[in-house]
């Protein structure tokens, strides 16, 4: 898509079913994907959507129940696994490294697995751990450990880098440092596949994004394409004093500028192309219906809104982790009660 | 700069070990404590003296004289009132109570207490001789106290073998499962690391840790208990290293599938228990019935202990121990290959 070359990753009809006696869990249900050379591709979705299963199948760590996978033109289990591993770098969702070893020892160990690669000292500097190079892994903070994990993935100078939830649980500063590392990797013309449930991370880093839900891709495109598909570039969220407001698109669709409407946990979400026209009319309408406004916010539409409009759920609803929506919703309240 | 994966893995294993104080303790300090403790418990003591109470009566002075030097030796005799004697017997302060009656001597003792039974025989013997008994056949004692044939001499090679077994199984099996549980293995197999390199590095690590281990155990034996190593030290070390390798292979096999530390701990105990009991660590397996011997000799620790004793105590050469060494090699290599084949990396 970005260029005419054959895809770096190609998978089709990917399915993974876990059979745990009584329970049958379909983690991935027919997933098709192409990642092209030089792009940063994001798998975006809530916890439990099947992102990690998908990525571990692509990494050759899990065998798919059905479907085909091609990575760098090779298939896993066809005899060339070690040659393939020479060309990819991986961070697992939770990369544990040996607590008793120092940063430089860990990176050197991983360097020794690769025929060709980067100088460990250079990689440690690239992930800003040079001051910690003699520190043991057990003494590192969460963000430093994650950067060390990325260093282990980068030290083989991979064509293709897999990052599974690289910034989950990290502070904003550490997240930005990880993003900078990924951007530098991209700038060298290399390919990255990243999974995340942070919408802002996907918007900032990824050339293309696949939104994954319940083991399937429900939307695919560049972040701006996906947001444009909502129809309106703005989002209006509001809540009223009573729960019985029957708001379907039909009842507000005549208001100019409103493209879609849906109910949320504690209010309503509208995608709007012209907020300056739509908001006054909406307030009038609520007044006519005798509802009092408790909350009203407006902001630019984000990938989060794409997910909500596709599934009716917020991305954090599934994860049970209210912190899972990262910072970056550049919203501003225009009115509260 | 050249990087060599096996060397780096091995270096990391060694660093990991010596940075873990607990591992160092169990490998080096614990065996030392054990050998000192057991050595003291089983050291050769001067012959135990026998506590004898004589009930105060007309004949008690004669009995006391018959049990005291210069007539007899080895008894601590006291003359007391009957009630005191019985109380002391009940509390175990004396082994036997002698009552001098008109009909002769009456011995009061508990037949379930071995020292009382032996006291009865010795006391009776002394009293009968004092009364004029003569032995029809002359008998003399030759006491075995010299280094080389004491219990501690038997024990030290057995403890060394036991440590090599424990180190191989725990040091490899436990560490492997721990790495699996913490998903370290998963990260390693996501890299192009050769899997055999990883397993070999564990065995190689064990080899390095074995050298000081052997030195600690044998050194303690030599310095504290005058153990004499009659064979060549290099031969002892060679047998020990081969044993360590062999048990490392077994440890890898035990740990190759386990997903939980509890599982591997249980498996390890199941494997080690028969060897603790049967392989001649604390006493010779010759004491077991003959039909059990082929099974006992099939246990790798039996082979290792036999070879260690032969080299340390009897000064045997390595070639003379070829069967045990071959057996350990085959056992270790076979287990290693099976482990490599069945190993669960995820």
Instruction: Catalogue all structural domains in chain A, each as residue range(s) with its CATH number.
Output: 9-222 (3.40.50.300), 230-336 (3.30.70.100)
Mean model confidence pLDDT for chain A: 84
A246-257 exposure pattern, b = at least 16 Cβ within 10 A, e = fewer: ebeeeebeebeb
Q: Quick check: B346 pLDDT over 90?
A: no
- Res A235: pLDDT: 87
Query: What confidence tens digit (pLDDT) does each residue in A210-239 have?
Result: 999 999 999 999 988 888 887 777 888 888
Torsion of CA B117, B123, B128, B134, to 10 degrees: 90
Strand partners, B130: none
Q: Quick check: A332 pLDDT over 60?
A: no
Chain B contacts to A (CB-CB under 8 A): 1, 3-5, 7-9, 11-12, 15-16, 19-20, 182-184, 186-187, 189-194, 346
Query: What confidence tens digit (pLDDT) does each residue in A103-142 have?
Result: 999 999 999 999 999 999 999 999 999 999 999 999 999 8
Asked if residue B70 has a cis previous peptide bond (ω within 30° of 0), the answer is yes
Query: What confidence tens digit (pLDDT) does each residue in A295-314 have?
Result: 899 888 888 888 887 887 77
Nearest-Cα residue of chain B relative to residue A114: B192
Nearest alpha carbon to residue A200 among A34, A33, A42: A42
Residue A333: pLDDT band (50, 70, 90) is very low
Q: Quick check: B78 pLDDT over 60?
A: yes
Query: What confidence tens digit (pLDDT) does each residue in A245-258 have?
Result: 766 555 777 788 88
Element of type H or E holding B207: helix B195-225
Nearest-Cα residue of chain A relative to residue B20: A100
Cα–Cα distance, A101 to A136 (Å, whole number): 5
Could you give the domains of chain B?
Answer: 5-42+147-342 (no CATH), 50-130 (3.40.190)
Nearest-Cα residue of chain A relative to residue B16: A100
- Res B214: pLDDT: 93
Secondary structure of residue A304 in the 3-state scheme: helix
Q: Does residue A16 sit at the B interface (CB-CB below 8 Å)?
A: no
What is the number of other CB atoms lying within 10 angstroms of the CB of residue B178?
Answer: 14
Instruction: Return the residue in A109, A119, A160 with the most chain B beta carbons within 10 A, the one to mutate for interface testing.
Output: A109
Q: Range with the lowest mean pLDDT among A192-196, A332-336, B31-35, B59-63?
A: A332-336
Strand partners, A18: A25
- Res A227: pLDDT: 85
Cβ distance A100 to B192 less than 8 Å, yes or no, reads no
- Res A313: pLDDT: 77
Residue B46: pLDDT band (50, 70, 90) is low
Determine the average pLDDT of the residues in A155-159. Answer: 94
Nearest alpha carbon to residue B205 among B2, B15, B4: B15
Q: Residues of A with CB below 8 A from B201's CB?
A: none
Question: Between residues 186 and 215 of chain A, which touch chain B (CB distance below 8 Å)?
Answer: none
Alpha helices in chain A (DSSP H): 51-58, 81-85, 103-112, 120-126, 142-154, 172-187, 199-205, 223-228, 249-252, 275-288, 303-311, 315-319
ipTM above 0.90, yes or no: no
Residue A10: pLDDT band (50, 70, 90) is very high
Contacts of B168 (CB under 8 A, 6+ apart): B206, B243, B244, B245, B246, B247, B248, B249, B250, B251
Cα–Cα distance, A203 to B294 (Å, whole number): 71
Q: Quick check: A325 pLDDT over 50?
A: no
- Res A248: pLDDT: 59
Contacts of A334 (CB under 8 A, 6+ apart): A279, A296, A297, A298
Compute the radius of gyration of chain B from its Cα atoms.
28
Mean model confidence pLDDT for chain B: 89
- Res A324: pLDDT: 31
Determine the average pLDDT of the residues in A260-277. Answer: 81
Contact B57, B100 (CB under 8 A): yes
Cα–Cα distance, B155 to B167 (Å, whole number): 18
Instruction: Determine the distance in angstroms separating the CA of B42 from the nearest CA of chain A, rounded to an integer.
Output: 40
Q: Range with the lowest mean pLDDT among A256-260, B90-94, B282-286?
A: A256-260
Question: Between residues 19 and 78 of chain A, which touch chain B (CB distance below 8 Å)?
Answer: 59, 61-62
- Res A336: pLDDT: 30
Instruction: Return the residue in A98, A103, A151 with the most chain B beta carbons within 10 A, the one to mutate for interface testing.
Output: A98
Determine the average pLDDT of the residues in A137-155. Answer: 93
Q: Residues of B with CB below 8 A from A85's CB?
A: 190-192
- pTM here is 0.78
What is the number of other CB atoms lying within 10 angstroms of the CB of residue B20?
Answer: 15
Q: Which two tokens stand for residue A60?
A: 């050759």
Residue A327: pLDDT band (50, 70, 90) is very low
The rounded percent of chain B whose pLDDT value lies above 70 is 97
Q: Quick check: B254 pLDDT over 50?
A: yes
Out of B20, B190, B192, the one facing A92 most closely (by C-beta) is B190
Q: Residues of A with CB below 8 A from B346's CB?
A: 61-62
Residue A319: pLDDT band (50, 70, 90) is very low
Q: Residues of B with CB below 8 A from A96's CB?
A: 182-184, 187
Cα–Cα distance, A164 to A307 (Å, whole number): 20
Determine the average pLDDT of the residues in A22-45. Answer: 90
Q: Does residue A90 sit at the B interface (CB-CB below 8 Å)?
A: yes
Q: What's the N-to-C CA distance of chain A in angstroms?
A: 48
């Amino acid at each position: 898509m970005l260029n005419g070359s054959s895809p770096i990753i190609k998978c089709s009809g990917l399915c993974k079913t876990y059979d745990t006696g009584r329970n049958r869990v379909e983690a991935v249900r027919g997933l098709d994907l192409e990642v092209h050379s030089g792009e940063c591709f994001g798998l975006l979705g809530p916890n439990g959507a099947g992102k990690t299963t998908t990525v571990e199948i692509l990494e050759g760590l899990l065998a798919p129940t059905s479907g085909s996978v091609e990575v760098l033109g090779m298939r896993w289990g066809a005899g060339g696994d070690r040659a393939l591993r020479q060309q990819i770098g991986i961070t697992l969702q939770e990369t544990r490294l040996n607590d008793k070893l120092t940063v430089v020892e860990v990176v050197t160990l991983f360097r020794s697995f690769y025929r060709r690669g980067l100088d460990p000292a250079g990689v440690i500097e690239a992930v800003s751990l040079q001051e910690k190079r003699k520190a043991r892994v057990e003494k590192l903070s969460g963000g430093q450990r994650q950067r060390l994990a990325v260093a282990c993935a980068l030290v083989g100078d991979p064509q293709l880098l897999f990052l599974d939830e690289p910034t989950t649980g990290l502070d904003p500063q550490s997240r930005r440092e990880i993003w900078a590392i990924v951007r530098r990797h991209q700038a060298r013309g290399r390919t990255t596949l990243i999974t995340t449930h942070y919408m802002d991370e996907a918007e900032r880093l990824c050339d293309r994004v696949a939104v994954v839900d319940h083991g399937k891709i429900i939307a695919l495109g560049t972040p701006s394409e996906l947001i444009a598909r909502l129809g309106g570039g703005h989002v209006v969220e509001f809540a009223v004093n009573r729960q019985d407001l029957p708001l379907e698109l039909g009842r507000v669709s005549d208001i100019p500028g409103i493209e879609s409407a849906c109910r949320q946990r504690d209010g309503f979400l509208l995608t709007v192309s012209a907020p300056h026209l739509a908001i006054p009319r909406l307030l009038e309408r609520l007044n006519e219906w005798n509802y009092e406004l408790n909350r009203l916010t407006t902001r630019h539409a984000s990938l989060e809104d794409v997910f909500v409009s596709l599934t009716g759920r917020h991305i954090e609803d599934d994860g049970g982790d209210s912190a899972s929506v990262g910072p970056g919703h550049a919203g501003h309240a225009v009115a509260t009660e | 700069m050249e990087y060599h994966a096996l060397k780096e893995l091995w270096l990391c294993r060694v660093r990991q070990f010596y940075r873990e104080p607990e591992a160092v303790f169990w490998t080096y300090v614990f065996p030392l404590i054990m050998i000192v403790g057991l050595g003291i418990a089983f050291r050769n003591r001067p012959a135990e003296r026998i506590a004898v109470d004589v009930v105060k009566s007309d004949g008690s002075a004669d009995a006391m004289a018959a049990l005291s030097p210069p007539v007899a030796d080895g008894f601590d005799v006291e003359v007391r009132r009957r009630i005191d004697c019985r109380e002391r017997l009940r509390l175990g302060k004396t082994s036997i109570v002698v009552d001098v009656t008109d009909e002769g001597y009456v011995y009061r003792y508990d037949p379930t207490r071995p020292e009382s039974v032996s006291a009865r025989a010795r006391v009776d013997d002394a009293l009968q001789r004092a009364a004029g008994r003569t032995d029809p056949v002359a008998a003399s004692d030759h006491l075995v106290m010299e280094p080389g044939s004491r219990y501690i001499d038997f024990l030290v090679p057995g403890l060394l073998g036991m440590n090599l077994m424990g180190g191989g199984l725990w040091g490899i099996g436990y560490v492997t499962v721990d790495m699996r549980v913490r998903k370290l293995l998963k990260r390693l197999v996501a890299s192009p690391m050769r899997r055999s390199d990883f397993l070999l590095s564990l065995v190689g690590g064990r080899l390095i840790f074995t050298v000081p281990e052997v030195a600690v155990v044998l050194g303690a034996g030599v310095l504290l208990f005058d153990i004499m190593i009659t064979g060549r030290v290099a031969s002892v070390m060679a047998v020990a290293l081969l044993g360590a390798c062999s048990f490392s292979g077994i440890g890898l096999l035990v740990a190759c599938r386990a997903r939980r530390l509890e599982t591997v701990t249980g498996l390890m105990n199941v494997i080690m228990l028969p060897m603790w009991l049967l392989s001649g660590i604390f006493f010779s397996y010759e004491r077991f019935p003959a039909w059990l011997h082929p099974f006992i000799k099939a246990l790798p620790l039996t082979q290792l202990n036999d070879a260690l004793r032969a080299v340390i105590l009897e000064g045997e050469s390595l070639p003379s121990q070829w069967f045990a060494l071959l057996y350990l090699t085959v056992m270790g290599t076979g287990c290693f290959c099976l482990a490599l084949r069945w190993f669960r990396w995820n």
